[in-house]
Amino acid sequence: MRIAIGSLQCESNTCSPIPTRKEDFDIAIGKAMYEKVHVEDLLDAAGASVVPLLYAHALPGGALPKEDFLWFVEQMVAPLSEKGLDGIWLYLHGAMYVDQIGSGETYLLQQIRRKVGDSVPIALALDFHANMTDEMCALANVVCGFRTAPHIDQIETERKAMLLLFRCIEEHLLPKPQMVRPYMLIPGDAVQTNQYPMKQVMEESDLIEEEEGILCAQVFGGQQWVDSPFTGPSAVVTHRSNANVAKERAFRLARKHWSVRHDFSFLVETFEPEDVLPAAMETPDKLVFISDSGDNATAGATGDNAFFLRLVQASPVEHVLVAGLVDEEAVRKCKEVPLGNMVTLTVGGSLSPHSTKATITGKVVHVGEILGYTGAMAGLSATIDCGRYTVVLTEKRTAFTREDIFTSIGIDVETYRVVVVKLGYLFPDLARMAERALFAFTVGTSAERIGDIGLKRIAHPMFPFEDDFHFR
């Protein structure tokens, strides 16, 4: 059994003015990619001969320039042979958008099919927030995705796709996944798979997946910050041999999703930006986390907007940690002075001309490398104690999603009263720590409310813009 494996992942945000370039990716070519994916033991157990292609992962960000993307495609397609390949396993995101091309995943699959033909099964492992295209379903034979948001089953999804690929090879199957769209857009941070109503939709997919002949029944939530005709949720069902059954089950899943469209809501307290700090001050005995949702780095925002920092400066609230703000030049200046020295810095607006700037004065209390949310180090950071509040600056976009990211730079979160993070919903580790979680509808390239994003190319009719229609 000869299997090619590859991975190309970046969740795009077309609202961001900052392109995601080749140099933004963590890249491993050939056998080096074994350390980045979690299927090597399955391949070894199956006695498979492996053709390692490319692993490339970048933090969510702006659309990829065409020339950068085509380099990745060449790296993945060139090692493929026209003969002697039994299957292809691809771990992609599903919401990668490329300038002048559109869906990056669709284009990649098209080029792979041109090289290997239609008789080689392809299994996809995708993010829950994939924006599926019709072509992706036509070009792949198995479509799997994360079943959790916040995501905790990435490794399980990688392995599930590989096991289903083995099954296709061993049973000589070339399934045809079927997709149905419910034509609705729900703010991504109102969709958590362990909470009603999405929990019920995912349970329906579990029931369908238990049926005889069903290989995978997947619901995708879509990525709202991609302005394209294929943006939005979808239901994709793969049956071993009966496309009609798969289509009917996909309709069943999509109808279930559509039926609860009015029931989605943010699962924590939500506030307009000017109201959230006064609300935090109402509970002085609790550790409060505030999501600066409009500048959410995990949603592809620039992470350099000092809008919320200025709210903190104008507020009397004390013991506030602002984590963090991207400003490479400011971090460099902090590195050049001894620890304990006072600095005055203009921070923010280093990446996007639309981001707010702020001036801070404080003591440099830490400079050093910070852990990134993917598990690798994410460059330098600097911590500035400004008295009532402390600011963490980073040279690269860094998402504070776990406690160990704070501890990697010597910060004990529990010594603060309010912690401001550039996220949407809190990731599980922070949700565990937060005694109260507040969600601010701040401005920026990851605006939460669908009507605030400025989408112009999405399909219509589309809920919530229209609601008096039935999808086919």
Per-domain residue ranges for the chain?
Answer: 2-263, 269-447
- The two tokens of residue 402 are 């776990």
The Cα–Cα gap between 426 and 401 comes to 7
Compute the half-sphere exposure of residue 107: CA atoms within 13 Å on the CB side of its CA. 19
**Is 356 in contact with 318 (CB distance < 8 Å)?**
no
Whether residue 286 contacts residue 414, with contact meaning beta carbons closer than 8 Å, is answered with no
Q: How far apart are the first and last CA of the chain?
A: 41
The CA distance from 128 to 150, in Å, is 9
DSSP character at residue 83: S
Cβ atoms of residues 21 and 68 within 8 Å: yes
Which stretches in the chain have pLDDT values below 70? 82, 471-472
Amino acid at the residue 215: L
Model confidence pLDDT, tens digit, residues 163-211:
999 999 999 999 999 999 999 999 988 999 999 999 999 999 999 999 9
CA distance 310 to 356: 9
pTM of the model: 0.90
Q: What ranges in 10-61 are assigned the alpha helix state H? A: 40-45
Is beta strand 320-326 parallel, antiparallel or unpaired with respect to 342-347? unpaired
CA dihedral 41, 47, 52, 58 (to 10 degrees): -20
Single-letter code of the amino acid located at 209: E
**CB neighbourhood size of 457 (10 A):** 12
Q: Positive or negative CA dihedral for 278, 282, 286, 291?
A: negative
Q: Which of 132, 332, 137 is CA-nearest to residue 232? A: 132
Phi-psi region of 20 (alpha: psi -120 to 50; beta: other; left: phi over 0): beta
* Pairing verdict, β 418-421 and 288-292: parallel
What is the DSSP code (8-state) at residue 228? S
